[in-house]
Chains A and B, each alone.
Chain A
Amino acid sequence: MIKKFSILAASLISVAVIGTAVAQESENPAVKARKAVMQLYAFNLGTLGGMAKGEVEYNAEAATRAANNLVAVTQIDQSAMWPAGSDNVSDPSSRALPAIWENFPDVSAKGKAMAEAAVAMQAAAGQDVEALKAAMGPLGGACSACHKAFRAPKN
């Protein structure tokens, strides 16, 4: 009886775990692609942020390379990555709110602000660590502005 119960419990748990895993991975290549764009931002921000926080020694060349990458990522044409029906209501693996599709002009204005903040970081990153630190704030503000308006909170 106990054995039966534990088999049942184990299978319930594995169903739950698999269920969660499925919910996190999207089937939609467009959703995967835009998540990959975010990963590219995060990776390069990690290089800059590590120096801003003093965890990693400041290195003008490495900082510039990371900032160049940020600028390059802002230049990726994302227009095909946001097809209709890829919001968080239609696709629970996404946190993209339907409001995105109702406010394209605002979304693109916020994207432009992000591109400008990345260019400002590009100019600052090679100067010195103080300039880099100062450019982190506006960059974070640009990320947040879009996330605040158009991304659903984590569950």
Chain B
Amino acid sequence: MRRLLSIAAGVAVVAGLTGLILTRPQHVDPAELDGIAPDLVRGETVFFAAGCASCHSAPNSEGEEKLVLAGGRRFETDFGTFIAPNISSDPEAGIGSWSALELADALIYGTGPAGQHYYPAFPYTTYTNMTPEDVVSLHAFLGTLPAASQESIAHEVGFPFNIRRSLGGWKLLYLEPGWVVDGDLDVQQQRGRYLVEALGHCAECHTPRDGLGGLSRDQWLTGAPNPSGKGRIPGLTTNHLDWSEADIAEYLKSGFTPDYDSAGGEMAEVIENTSRLSDEDRLAIAAYLKVVPVPANDATTD
């Protein structure tokens, strides 16, 4: 009996240690960023394509105010309320003192400079597909934006979700680099895929989630319940969205639908970003959306 107990204890210790190792925050290999020179123009494109300001600008800011990444917007979810932190260039309150490598850790692995896991309200499961060139260029561009001295506010998250280590387990399930839409894509479709699957994080709203809050990748971009509880976020696959590629590109530029109604709600904020991209990039997104497969079990139309 005693022997059995000690075996059980041994197993528990090994399992615990394995768990601790598996749930350790991961870091980017510094060699990955070696010799990459930042390009500010590229960094600006990444900034708008990735929509950083939509979450990190102060609540209710408009126009140029959106370049001040003071944080403070609140995001209510089933797991608690997340409050966007200050990621302005302020070295104390913001992330002005971060190295490009520290930003890479945050974007690629959701790991903070103190070795903590970030909550996936920060869409690193998308950004994990970013190229090192884009990370380095974004880092340089963020450094050119104004500093804001507002302190970041702690998230309002209750037990058990306040145990950050458990996010390591969540990441094991959901943080996997790689493309959802695979196969034979031409150069334009591949650019669109990068804009959607690595930067734009469209899927965060337009793809349904499972019980643990992870994206159901087999239902990619087929639409999802609106977290506000009212209505649905529309699907973007061809059975839901039958607009032409030119229609989609125009919508992402000016916000005009094919009926010349204009985008409202959250999508109006997204278009403030996509309107800053090039026509080529907007057409690339449209070309990509046309090749996203319609899952066999989603024959519905909106």
Interface of A with B (CB < 8 Å)?
41-43, 45-46, 49, 52-55, 133, 136-137, 139-141, 143-145, 147-148, 151, 153-155
Give the CA-CA distance A90 to B27 in the complex, in Å: 56
Q: Identify the closest chain B residue to A146 (Cβ).
A: B262
Residues of chain B with a CB closer than 8 A to A43's CB:
260
Q: How far is the CB of A44 from chain B (nearest CB, A)?
A: 9
| 5 pairs, CB–CB < 8 Å, chain A vs chain B | A49-B254, A53-B247, A141-B255, A145-B62, A147-B264
* A143 in contact with B231 (CB, 8 Å): no
Q: Identify the closest chain A residue to B271 (Cβ).
A: A144
Give the CA-CA distance A46 to B264 in the complex, in Å: 18
Residues of chain B with a CB closer than 8 A to A45's CB:
256, 260
Whether a CB of chain A sits under 8 angstroms from the CB of B281 is no
Partner of A140, one of B230, B244, B255: B255
* A141 in contact with B254 (CB, 8 Å): yes
Given A52-B250, A54-B246, CB of A147 within 8 Å of CB of B260: no
Give the CA-CA distance A66 to B279 in the complex, in Å: 23
- Chain A contact surface mostly: helix
Q: How far is the CB of A139 from chain B (nearest CB, A)?
A: 6
* B254 in contact with A148 (CB, 8 Å): no
Known: A53-B249, A140-B256. 11 other contacts (CB 8 A): A52-B250, A55-B244, A137-B253, A140-B271, A141-B275, A143-B255, A143-B262, A145-B268, A148-B264, A154-B231, A155-B231
Partner of A49, one of B231, B256, B272: B256
Give the CA-CA distance A140 to B282 in the complex, in Å: 15
List 4 tightest A-B contacts by C-beta distance, closest first: A140-B254, A143-B262, A42-B260, A53-B246
Give the CA-CA distance A42 to B262 in the complex, in Å: 9
Residues of chain A with a CB closer than 8 A to B279's CB:
133
Residues of chain A with a CB closer than 8 A to B268's CB:
144-145, 147-148
Residues of chain B with a CB closer than 8 A to A144's CB:
255, 262-264, 268, 271
* B263 in contact with A49 (CB, 8 Å): no
Q: How far is the CB of B147 from chain A (nearest CB, A)?
A: 27
Whether a CB of chain A sits under 8 angstroms from the CB of B133 is no
Residues of chain B with a CB closer than 8 A to A153's CB:
230-231, 264-265
Q: How far is the CB of A73 from chain B (nearest CB, A)?
A: 13
